[in-house]
Structures are given as structure tokens and as C-alpha cells.
Amino acid sequence: MTIRNRIFTVVGVVIAAAFLQTLIVLQVENRRAAAADALDRAIWRLENQADLGRIIIELDASQRIVDARGQPALAAERDRVWGLYERVMARLPESFDSDESRRELAAIDALMRQWRATPPGGDSAALMARIRPDFDRFQTRERSRLGEERIKVNSQSLQSTLLTLAIPAVAIVMLLMLVAFVARILLDPLKAIATSAKTISGGNFDVSLPQGSRDEIGDLVRAFREMITAVQRRERQVTEARIKAEREHQRLQATIETVPVALVIVDAETGRIVLQNRTAGALIGHEPGDDAAREAFWRAFCVTTRDGTPVDVRTWGAEGVLRGQVIVGEELVVKHPDGREIPILVSAAPLREDDGRISGAVAAFQDITSLYEVDRLKSEFVSIVSHELRTPLTSIKGALQLLIDERLASDPDHAMLLNVALSNTERLVRIINDILDISKIEAGKLELNARPHSVSELVKQSLQNVEPIAHGALVALRADIEPGVPAVQVDLDRAIQVIVNLLSNALKVAPPRSEVTLAARRAGDGFVAFSVTDRGRGIEPDKIGLLFQKFQQLDGANTRKARGTGLGLAIVKALVEMQGGQVTVDSTVGHGSTFTVTVPVAGDQGLGASGQ
Amino acid sequence: MKLLLAEDEPDVQLIARLSLKKAGFTVVTVGNGVEVLERVAQEQPDAILLDWMMPDMDGYETCRRLKADPATASIPVIFLTARVQEAEVARAMALGAVGCIGKPFDALALGTQVLELLKAT
């Protein structure tokens, strides 16, 4: 039952009770008034009866005198008194409440009228002698009735007084009950909720709430409970999220501190370092807070590129990264004020806010001194190995050459064996040379001495180089030089190495009595293209990707003799790309292949060619 | 024509000596730079072939001393070296050498190469 209904019910009960009280009071009052009225009437009646008594006595006295003396004047008096009697008797009966009284009076009245009707000389005195005791008895009875009536009226008054006192008392009790009722169903739960709310706002969710009744307070308690649960859940989520974020932050912090890379985050507005890890601290130290000191701190550093060109780090940052540029793996050298010269590898990226505004930059740099050292050791190693390998080879090859040349091997089998030894030695030399080339290229140690060279000279020398092989393979070599092709800017030895490599490959796959062509043409954009075309079996499209990978040799069935090192085309590609050109392959299975390399046109001619 | 050949590897020394002999040279061989300086006055060679890497005294130092001594400064010096990089060649030429022959050398062409280098001067 809802509180509204309860209150309505209680108020209804109170109103009904009040109404009932009023009814009772009215009823009691009515009865009391009726009783009082009856009393008044009884008194009035008694007075009239008393009058009647006196009238009867007077009538009796008058009659006796008339009878005795016969005085007519007295007869007139007697008749006047009779008139009074008639008047009293006319109003008296109706004032009686009981029929008995009325009957008794009627009996007396009948006797009186008999008495009146008695002719003179009749026995009126005897009649009167009967009437008067009757009347006295009647009056006595009436008096006692009056007494009863009075007792009744008094009792009614007492009741009325008691009721008058009782009703306010009942009303007060009801009011008290109403207050207690309101307190129990409204105030107590509200107070409990208020207390709970205070406890919760203090951070303690362990509160006891009144049992939820099936009313508005119950609804409130349930809503309050739900709110507590929701708040608790929200708080738990917030706490979990905070813990998670803290954990992530710690993890990130640990990562940042642990990585062997120096990390700094710079604020875009102030240009100050807002975060740096330990590695960064060890590498550059800590910038002072004071502006002037900071200026001096940074001025003490000297940053250059690897070839010694000075770099203004702040301009570099402001114009590059803070404008959104991402820098990956740029090599710089930092000359530290303490005298150290540290080669570093720098990567940097802008940090953006949600709205895309650049708020700062993160820079990661690595001290690559050890890499330089490793690099140096590797070069040294390669150099030593090259010497150590070539020295015995020099002896073997020289010995074999001299032996064969001296025709000391008169036995044909011996001559054959010596040639096998020599060709394998030569192959070993080639392999070592290729490995050294690749090592140098990978180490960035290969120095190219690019100078202008004429295309025809390049073609001539390259063809000369492979002439003996072509001869042995019964393959014709053909040069196809476009007239007026400009000179090229290349390292001559390396350019010949590239072309010879392509020609050697072509000769390996060319069928006997076919032709291998070396063509040179303008390629546009300041390049000259050298193409080597064979009429071999061609290369399957899915194999072309493998061609330029290191130590890849295509299926032996494709080549007359698998005599390469598997490094040739990888070196060709690297050498050509180092000089700004590129290598392409065009091959049709069954028709042969064309390998094309492009090299830049020399100096002014290059400009001229690109201008066309 | 008399050549003084300095090469620490006995095998290489033998091959080079036979190869040059076959090409018509008279060859005197020594094992290191110190011996070159000891023998040069006595042998009076027409040219000196120096291995770059040798014990006791390497080819570079030997060449420097030969060029520093007026008595031997005019004798052409040719380097035999596995290092045929531009920088090394330039360094050798800067010392006054007439040229470099790369290792492994061609046993049949060594004599011709030496002759060409000497002719060029």
C-alpha cells in the first residue's frame, strides 16, 4: 500500500472518527435537551397540577358554602373557578408524557364533571370525598415520576459532560498516533537514507538501509540502493581504469627507461625537453632550467652530418619535425662539450594533439659508436681475409699457369687435369672477388670513381673481356651502338664489370651458333641504356624475382654450366643503383632474355640529353 | 733487365720469380723490406717490385725510405698488392711508385704488366 493511500486512509479514518464524534455529541445533546425539556414540562405540569389541586379545593369549598348557605354570589364565584378548572384541564392532559398519567387524570376529570353535574342537594360532597384522595394519590405519583425524570436528566448531563471531555482526549490521542505513524513510515526511513548518503559521500559503501517496503519510501530505498550499486560499479570501473592506466604508464616508463635508445620529447611552444630517458641523460646530459644557461648548454654541442657539414639541431627540428615531417634513421655526429664525438642515428616524429595540432616532437637517437666499430672490424676482417685467401690462390694459379705454359704436362690426361685445376682456381678467385664486392657494397665501403667515358670504349672493352668465352661457346658477339649516343658518367672498371657480368650470363645460356647482342641507346632523362640480349631459353616469369637475390642460381637446366657464384646479378644491381641507374629484365620463354642497365649521361651532355 | 722482388710468401715469390724469368728478367728475391734496403746498393736493380704487406718492414715504409735516399730514389718501384682500391693506388703513386699490380696476378701476364709500367715512365 502506498504512503499516499495510507495517509488518505488515516485522514479518512480521522475524519470519520470526528464525524462520528460529532454525531455522538449531537445525539447525546439531543437526548439531554429532550430530558431537560421533559423536566421543564413535568415541572410546569406539577405547577398546573398544584393549581388544579387548589382549584378543586376551592371548588369544593365554594360548593360546600353554596350548599350550606345558598348564597348566589358564591355560586358565581364557584362558576368562575370552574372556568379556571376548565382552562387548566384543557391544556394539562397534552403535557403528559405517559398515557397512564393521562388516563388517571381523565378519570379524575370524569369524576369532577360528575361532581359538577350533581344537582344541588345531591351527594356532591361524597363524590368530592372520593375525588380529593384520588387527586392526592395522582399528585404523589406524578411527583415520584418527576423524581425519576430528574435522575434521568442528571444522568444524561453527566454523560454529556463526560463526552465533552473525552472527545478532545480521543482527538489528541489520534493526533499523537498520526504523528507516530508519519514518523515511522516517513521520517525514520528518510533519516536512515540521509545517514547512508553521508556515509557514502565519506567513501564507505558499507551502509545498512531500511527494508524496502511496498511504498514510495520503498521505491526511494530501492532507487537509492540501485544508485549505490551504480556508483560503486562506476567507482570500481574508474579505479580499475586508473590502476590499468597507471600500470600502462609504469610499463611505458620502464620501457622508455630500459631501451638502449635515447628518447627525448620536446615541447613545441617552449622548445624545452619535457621528457628524456636515462640513455638520453647519459648521452647529452640534462638541459638547465634557466634560459640563458640552456642557450649556452645547447651552443656547446656541435652537430654535423657524417661528412662534417654542420647542422643546427633546433632549426632542423623546427623546420622539419615540427612541421610534420618524420625523420627515419638519419646519421649525425654529435661533438659533445666533454670532447666525445658520438655518431648517432636519429629518428624523429611530430606529436599531435587530437585536433591535429603539433604539440611537440619525439626524437629517438642511438649511439652507433659500437656499430661504427663493428663496421670497421668487418671491413678489416674482409680485408684480411681477402689478402689471406688471395695469397695462396695467387700461388696455385700462377703455378698452374706456368706449368701449362711450359707444356711440362706432355701426357694429355695431365694437361686436362691441370686445366681443370686452373679453371676451378679461377672460379674460386671470381667467387672471392664477388664476395668481397658484395661485402664492400653492403658495408658502404665500395668507392666509385665516376668519370666521363665513351660508350664505344665501354662496349669495346667489355666485349674483349668475354671474347674467349664466346669463342669457346661458339656464340657470336655483336655490338649495336646508337649513333651519337652521349658519353656516360661511370666508374670504368665497375661499368665493365656490370656489362661483362651480363654478357657472361648471356653466353652461358646462349645456344651454339646463336648471337648475343650488346646494344647501347639513349634512354631519356639523362640516361644511356645498355642491353644484353641472348637467344636462350628465356626465364619463367615467376623466376625473374629471384634473379637479383644473393646466392640464387636458376635451375641448372637453364644454363649450360652452373658456374656462377650466385652473386653476379646482385652485384650488378647494386653497382647500377649506386650510380643512379636501374636494371630491368625482359624475357620470353623460348625466345631469350634481354637484361638492360641504365647509367647516367656525363656532365653537360647529360643536361643536354635531359633537355631534349 | 734486373728486378729486385720483395715478397714474404715463398710460394708467391717462386711463382713471381719464374714468371718474370720467363718474361726475360733477371730476378733477385728477398723476403722483406729490410732486406731490400740492404741489397739494393749491391744489386743495383733496374726496378723494384714490393709486396705491400710484409713482416719487419712493409712495402709502404720500404718505398718511402728508397725514395728518401738519393742513391735509390730514381729506381722505379712497383707494388704488388691485394688492395687495388683507388685510395691505395693513389697512396702508392703519391710515394713515387710507378704503379700497382693486383694480386692474384696473372702468372703469364706479370712480365708484360711490369714492362708496360716501366715503359710508361
Nearest CB partner across the interface for A447, out of B9, B86, B103: B86
CB contact under 8 Å between A394 and B12, yes or no, is: yes
Q: Which residues of B touch A430 (CB under 8 A)?
A: none
CB contact under 8 Å between B15 and A393, yes or no, is: no
Neighbours of B97 (CB within 10 A): 22
Nearest CB partner across the interface for A387, out of B15, B22, B53: B53
Nearest CA among B110, B62, B101, B55 for reference residue B80: B101
Residue A607: pLDDT over 50: no
Cα A319 to its chain centre, rounded Å, is 37
pTM: predicted TM-score of the whole model, two decimal places: 0.44
Strands A515-524 and A476-481: parallel
Asked if B82 reaches chain A (Cβ–Cβ under 8 Å), the answer is yes
Q: Which residues of B touch A393 (CB under 8 A)?
A: 104
Sort A394 into a burial class: Cβ within 10 Å, 0-12 / 13-18 / 19+.
buried
Outline where DSSP puts E strands in A368-487. Answer: 451-453, 476-481
* Integer Cα distance of A71 and B12 in angstroms: 213
Asked if B13 reaches chain A (Cβ–Cβ under 8 Å), the answer is no
Residue A368: pLDDT over 90: no
Poorest-confidence range of A126-140, A307-321, A500-514, B15-29? A307-321
Per-residue pLDDT, A606: 42
In angstroms, how far is the first alpha carbon of chain A from the final one? 101
Enumerate residues 6+ apart whose C-beta is below 8 A from A290.
none
Nearest CA among A338, A346, A342 for reference residue A365: A346
Residue A141 corresponds to which amino acid? R
Enumerate residues 6+ apart whose C-beta is below 8 A from A532.
A499, A502, A503, A505, A506, A516, A517, A518, A519, A594, A595, A596
For helices B110-120 and B10-22, give the axis angle rounded to 10 degrees: 70
Q: Is residue A202 classed as helix, strand or coil in its secondary structure?
A: coil
Q: Which residues of A touch B87 (CB under 8 A)?
A: 447
Nearest CB partner across the interface for B107, out of A398, A429, A449: A398
* Integer Cα distance of A306 and A308 in angstroms: 5
What percent of chain B clears pLDDT 70, i.e. is strictly above it?
96
Name residue A69's beta-bridge partners.
Answer: none
DSSP state of A287: -
State how far residue A347 is from chain B, nearest Cα, in angstroms: 33
Backbone angles phi, psi at A527, to 5 degrees: -125, 155
Asked if B93 reaches chain A (Cβ–Cβ under 8 Å), the answer is no
State how far residue A431 is from chain B, nearest Cα, in angstroms: 13
Question: CA dist A16 to A10, A30, A171, A302, Å?
Answer: 10, 21, 12, 103
Strands B2-6 and B26-30: parallel
pLDDT tens-place string over residues A105-147: 888 888 888 888 887 767 777 888 888 888 888 888 888 888 8
Question: CA dist A516 to A292, A463, A480, A596, Å?
Answer: 73, 10, 11, 13
* Integer Cα distance of A106 and A100 in angstroms: 10
Tell me the three cell numbers of residue A382: 674482409
Tell me the three cell numbers of residue A607: 643536361
CB contact under 8 Å between B104 and A399, yes or no, is: no
Asked if B109 reaches chain A (Cβ–Cβ under 8 Å), the answer is no
pLDDT tens-place string over residues A161-209: 887 788 788 888 888 888 888 787 778 878 888 888 888 888 787 777 7
Outline where DSSP puts E strands in A132-239. Answer: none
Q: Is residue A329 classed as helix, strand or coil in its secondary structure?
A: strand
CB contact under 8 Å between A395 and B18, yes or no, is: no
Which of B7, B9, B12, B51 best probes binding to A when mutated, by most A CB atoms within 10 angstroms? B12
Residue A110 corresponds to which amino acid? A
Q: How crowded is the C-beta side of B61, counted as CA atoms within 13 Å?
A: 11
Question: Secondary structure of A308-319 in the HEC alphabet?
Answer: CCEECHHHHHHH
Whether the bond between A120 and the residue before it is cis, its omega within 30 degrees of 0, is no
Mean pLDDT of A411-428: 83
In this prediction, residue B27 has a pLDDT band, given cuts at 50, 70 and 90, of very high
CB contact under 8 Å between B15 and A394, yes or no, is: yes
ipTM over 0.85: no
Grid cell 667467387 — which residue?
Answer: A431
CB contact under 8 Å between A395 and B106, yes or no, is: no
CB contact under 8 Å between A398 and B16, yes or no, is: yes
Tell me the three cell numbers of residue A174: 489520534
- Please name the residue ranges forming H helices in A183-215: 188-201
Residue A31 corresponds to which amino acid? R
CB contact under 8 Å between A387 and B82, yes or no, is: yes
Residue A29 corresponds to which amino acid? E
Per-residue pLDDT, A557: 43
pLDDT tens-place string over residues A433-456: 888 788 777 767 777 888 888 999
Under 8 Å CB pairs connecting chains A and B tally to: 60
Residue A172 corresponds to which amino acid? I
State how far residue A478 is from chain B, nearest Cα, in angstroms: 28
Per-residue pLDDT, A553: 62
Nearest CB partner across the interface for B103, out of A391, A402, A447: A391
For helices A99-117 and A72-91, give the axis angle rounded to 10 degrees: 160
pLDDT tens-place string over residues A33-92: 887 887 888 888 888 888 888 888 888 888 888 777 777 777 788 888 888 888 888 888
Which of B5, B7, B9, B11 best probes binding to A when mutated, by most A CB atoms within 10 angstroms? B11
Residue A530: pLDDT over 90: yes
Q: Is residue A269 classed as helix, strand or coil in its secondary structure?
A: coil
DSSP string, A153-206: HHHHHHHHHHHHHHHHHHHHHHHHHHHHHHIIIIIHHHHHHHHHHHHHHTT---
State how far residue A276 is from chain B, nearest Cα, in angstroms: 43
Nearest CA among B9, B83, B81, B73 for reference residue B41: B73
State how far residue B106 is from chain A, nearest Cα, in angstroms: 7
DSSP state of A31: H
Q: Which residues of A touch B106 (CB under 8 A)?
A: 397, 401
Residue A554: pLDDT over 70: no
Q: Which residues of B touch A390 (CB under 8 A)?
A: 82, 103-104
DSSP string, B66-98: HHHSTTTTTS-EEEEES---HHHHHHHHHTT--
